[in-house]
Amino acid sequence: MLAVQRRAAILSELERKGIVRVSELVVMFGVSDMTIRRDLTALERQGMLHKVHGGAVLYAEPSTSEPGFEAKSARRLAEKEAIAARAATLVAPGSAIAVSAGTTTHLFARHLVDIPDLTVVTNSVWVADVLYRSASESVTVLLTGGLRTPSDALVGPIAISALRSLHLDTVFMGVHGMDLYSGFSTPNLLESETNRAMIRSARRLIVLADSTKWGVIGLSSMAELSEASTIITDTGLPRAALSALDEYADEVVLVEPSPSVPQVSPDQG
């Protein structure tokens, strides 16, 4: 196994468990203690993990960290695509929905283009662009306007004012993080306020969040876990997290990511 393959496998194990130990990785990969320690050092330099005594833990981003849209798009693409496809099955023809900004909701928008007589309200430049370019003439798209964030969400008073006057069936929302005590959160204060207005405008909230979002806490909470009618995530979610979500949300849907989905960036399609 090449070093790059082994390090990718180490990260997968770390995402699954939250912590890895050098002694366990030595047995898993059949290499020396020194080789594993070099791998962990290289991954720490890349900002992928933190070394601790005897192993490593996941790198925890600051609560105010807000990666750009393109940086987030290539992460967990197979999981996001599976979540997006499943979420689209919950959209009824003729309904009025809101779609928040995010990389998973961007993929979700691609599955909406053939649903007839749909009204889509969004604060995402990317979601609006997908629907404008590809959707049928029966799909109506309303872009809220507002200030543009690093993740290409339109937020602030203009967006909030537009959302307050609407009465929608369902909000499909991507999140930066989800946690038992902090609920669904984002690192951007204005985006949090805008998303709360979006949630209040609809009868039902469906959250699209891959399993790596569990345990991540942004600066500001948008909603409690109990406010979600449905949470769609992937099978990489830890068992304890699934039990917690099951207790609070009305429904938790687990999807299996397809191994055939390549890791691509937005400009590759």
Whether residues 264 and 161 share a domain: the answer is yes
Greatest mean pLDDT among 14-18, 55-59, 73-77, 104-108 lies in 104-108
Query: Is 254 within a domain?
Result: yes
Distances (CA, A) of 143 to 124, 188, 215: 7, 19, 31
Q: Render pLDDT for 117-176 as a digit per residue (tens, 0 to 9).
A: 999 999 999 999 999 998 788 899 999 999 998 878 999 999 999 999 999 999 999 999
Contact 56, 14 (CB under 8 A): yes
Residues contacting residue 22 through CB under 8 Å, at least 6 positions apart: 33, 36, 37, 40, 54, 55
In DSSP terms, 17 is beta-bridged to none
pLDDT of the residue at 12 = 80
Query: Is 148 within a domain?
Result: yes
Whether residues 97 and 220 share a domain: the answer is yes
Whether residues 164 and 244 share a domain: the answer is yes
Q: Render pLDDT for 243-255 as a digit per residue (tens, 0 to 9).
A: 989 999 999 999 9
pLDDT of the residue at 71 = 47
Could you tell me the pTM of the whole model? 0.73
Whether residues 249 and 148 share a domain: the answer is yes
Whether residues 119 and 251 share a domain: the answer is yes
Q: Picking from 24-33, 47-56, 170-179, 229-238, which range would have the lowest pLDDT averaged per residue?
A: 47-56
Contact 136, 86 (CB under 8 A): no
Whether residues 127 and 33 share a domain: the answer is no
Whether residues 161 and 248 share a domain: the answer is yes
Q: What is the CATH number of the domain that holds 25?
A: 1.10.10.10
Strand 119-122 vs strand 96-99: parallel, antiparallel, or unpaired? parallel
Q: Does position 264 have pLDDT exceeding 60, yes or no?
A: no
- Helix, strand or coil for residue 65? coil
Tokens coding 169:
């069936």
For the chain, the average pLDDT equals: 87
Q: Does position 202 have pLDDT exceeding 70, yes or no?
A: yes
Query: Is 63 within a domain?
Result: no
Domain extent at residue 22: 3-58
Whether residues 35 and 76 share a domain: the answer is no
Query: Is 64 within a domain?
Result: no
What CA–CA distance (Å, rounded) separates 268 from 258?
A: 19
Residue 181 is which amino acid? Y
Residue count (the chain): 269
Whether residues 74 and 48 share a domain: the answer is no
What CA–CA distance (Å, rounded) separates 101 from 123?
A: 6
In DSSP terms, 97 is beta-bridged to 120, 170
Query: How many distinct structural domains can be found in the chain?
Result: 2
pLDDT of the residue at 59 = 62
Looking up tokens 């790596």 gives 212
Angle between helices 22-29 and 33-45 (to 10 degrees): 110
pLDDT of the residue at 13 = 83
Q: Does position 65 have pLDDT exceeding 60, yes or no?
A: no
Whether residues 103 and 38 share a domain: the answer is no
Confidence of residue 67 (pLDDT cuts 50, 70, 90): low
Query: Is 84 within a domain?
Result: yes
Whether residues 223 and 114 share a domain: the answer is yes
Whether residues 51 and 115 share a domain: the answer is no
